[in-house]
Amino acid sequence: ILNVEQSPQSLHVQEGDSTNFTCSFPSSNFYALHWYRWETAKSPEALFVMTLNGDEKKKGRISATLNTKEGYSYLYIKGSQPEDSATYLCAFRDDYKLSFGAGTTVTVRA
Amino acid sequence: NAGVTQTPKFQVLKTGQSMTLQCAQDMNHEYMSWYRQDPGMGLRLIHYSVGAGITDQGEVPNGYNVSRSTTEDFPLRLLSAAPSQTSVYFCASSKGGDLSSEAFFGQGTRLTVV
């Protein structure tokens, strides 16, 4: 069982504020680190797949960074909007499998 | 463009009954997986497959069987349902051999065992 941890478990953000949260993962046998966005009553959808140490990815107001040597990734949301409310999952890929963290649930208050 | 299709969406079973959750993908993906989602625990891997005829156990395989006779289909069988198997189940697929490949998820099956 791979130890993929996300913190915090949940957070509340005021509309317009920026926020970030963490995913930590094993630093050995690293193939890729995934981030997914999961809205209530829907299926998880991929945000980013990062494979190289130092990778930075951006999609609109959401961005992510990766440090494979120390085993962590940050997800940033700039200028949070109510539609950003969701659970954000990270997943560590080793050879064939994805191991998921428990997620960070973000609630954006208008 | 169907993607990953799971059936049924909802199911209620009595303890001891058996059933099969169906999963099919039309993207010619080599990798397929089954996860269960329980409150506060994220997605836990039940079984996975890297191609037709090849399956392996994940983190929580007990009480479940899988087979992969074709690239498209990856059914999950509950042999004798128990209340502890009440959960939401997700099937996912991805390209094999491509490290940058994301996973695509089905819509989920909400299973209740009474």
For residue A90, the tally of other CB atoms under 10 A from its CB is: 32
Across the interface, of B42, B99, B106, the residue whose CB is closest to A32 is B99
Query: Residues 52-81, chain A: which have Cβ within 8 Å of B?
Result: none
Q: How far is Cα B80 from Cα B11, in angstroms, rounded to an integer?
A: 14
Predicted pLDDT at B2: 76
Work out the pLDDT band at B10, boundaries 50, 70, 90.
Answer: very high
| C-alpha Rg value of chain B to the nearest Å | 13
Q: Do A49 and B102 touch (CB under 8 A)?
A: yes
Using a CB–CB cutoff of 8 Å, tell me whether B99 touches chain A: yes
Q: Model confidence over B72-109: pLDDT tens digits?
A: 999 999 999 999 999 999 999 999 878 889 999 999 99
Residue B84, min C-alpha distance to chain A (Å):
19
Query: Nearest-5° angle of CA A56, CA A102, CA B60?
Result: 120
Q: Model confidence over A25-63: pLDDT tens digits?
A: 998 888 999 999 999 889 999 999 999 999 999 999 999
Cβ proximity of B9 and B109 under 8 Å: yes
Predicted pLDDT at A1: 63
Q: Model confidence over A81-98: pLDDT tens digits?
A: 999 999 999 999 987 889
Strands (E), B9-75: 10-13, 19-25, 31-37, 43-51, 54-57, 64-66
Residue B13, min C-alpha distance to chain A (Å):
21
Q: How far is Cα A94 from Cα A101, in angstroms, rounded to an integer?
A: 14
Using a CB–CB cutoff of 8 Å, tell me whether B35 touches chain A: yes
Predicted pLDDT at B1: 65
Residue B59, min C-alpha distance to chain A (Å):
6
Cα dihedral sign for A44, A46, A47, A51?
A: positive
pLDDT at B41 over 90: no
